[in-house]
Amino acid sequence: MAGYGAKILLDSVAPTGERLTTMEVCFPRFVLAEFNTHRQFSRNSASSRAIPTSKLIERVLSEPVLPLEWGRNQPGMAASSLLDIEAVRIAERAWLRARDEAVESVRELQTLQVHKQVLNRLLEPFLWHTVIVTATEWANFFALRCTPQAQPEIREVAMKMRAAYERHQPTPLMEGEWHTPLLQEDEFGLDIDLRKRVSAARCARVSYLTHDGARDRSKDLDLCDRLMEQHHLSPFEHVATPASGANANFRGWRQMRAEVEERSWLTRSASA
């Protein structure tokens, strides 16, 4: 996904009425820190450290992020007026010149064999960023980010998220059933444990298809096992079952992460 976007991947409601929604959203990488301040969210996103530098260079050259608005400088966190058309043209040229200089610097550093976890950071201001986010509490995010006081780039995606949330009808789930994002219709009949593990792995990938457009369930299961072994547990937060009360950052739902952590604790206790 490139460009501002928000689509619902799965939307469920517990018998007690609490709604759990998983979205895939895209926005400029430079407002990710603001997005991440919302602690009600469980989220996984594409890592700048994991993607080959050559692919990121291609992205910033073909689909660069530009500021949504060019506000005129003034005291305070938000601009109340915008630059005129001619100034905007000059500002966009300056921004893209900075993009080109960043790419040139990255290519020079590549000749020195600098690792991509360093190189790719220089490209981040010009990159689109995709996030999978799951939550039961959205009101605070919408209240803070759908207002004129919010930075335009996060406001734009927040407005799209709110619109998607408000027009979508969640599917009821009963106790013992599971919210498993990124499964396809022909996979709903799989064994529940298999469904949960595949769903968590696909959330970790921030994509439900492999790079060549084909699903590979065995690779999903291998990834799930590695995530457990390495204690990378955030992808297991998107998979959840109805449960009363507050559980971690969800209300009315219990995350698969709780199961994984309990199993890990029992294993450690048994080996102690």
**Percent of the residues in the chain that have a pLDDT greater than 90, as a whole number:** 82
- Which carries the bigger pLDDT value, residue 259 or residue 210? 259
At 196 the pLDDT is 97
Q: Report the SS3 class of residue 77.
A: coil
pLDDT of 271 over the 80 cut = no
| CB 118, CB 105: distance < 8 Å | no
Mean pLDDT of 115-141: 97
Mean pLDDT of 69-97: 94
Mean pLDDT of 57-76: 95
**pLDDT tens digits for range 176-235:** 999 999 998 889 889 999 999 999 999 998 866 654 567 789 999 999 999 999 999 999
- Helices 53-62 + 85-110 axis angle, to 10: 160
At 185 the pLDDT is 87
Tokens at 130, concatenated: 């995709």
Range list of H helices, 168-209: 192-205
Lowest mean pLDDT among 142-156, 202-216, 230-244: 202-216
Lowest mean pLDDT among 101-115, 142-156, 256-270: 256-270
pLDDT of 50 over the 90 cut = no
**pLDDT tens digits for range 156-188:** 999 999 999 999 999 999 999 999 999 988 898
pLDDT of 266 over the 90 cut = no
Highest mean pLDDT among 49-53, 80-84, 161-165: 161-165
Rounded CA-CA distance 93/126 in Å is: 13
Mean pLDDT of 98-121: 97
Tokens at 201, concatenated: 């792995």
pLDDT of 116 over the 90 cut = yes
Sign of CA dihedral 92, 93, 96, 102: negative
| CB 199, CB 181: distance < 8 Å | yes
At 108 the pLDDT is 98
Sequence ranges of the chain with CATH classification 3.30.1360.170: 5-167
Which CATH code of 1.10.3660.10, 3.30.1360.170, 3.90.1150.10, 3.30.1330.50 fits the domain covering 5-167?
A: 3.30.1360.170
Mean pLDDT of 33-50: 92
DSSP-assigned letter for residue 179: B
Range list of H helices, the chain: 32-35, 53-62, 85-110, 116-119, 139-145, 152-167, 192-205, 217-229, 256-271
Mean pLDDT of 81-85: 93
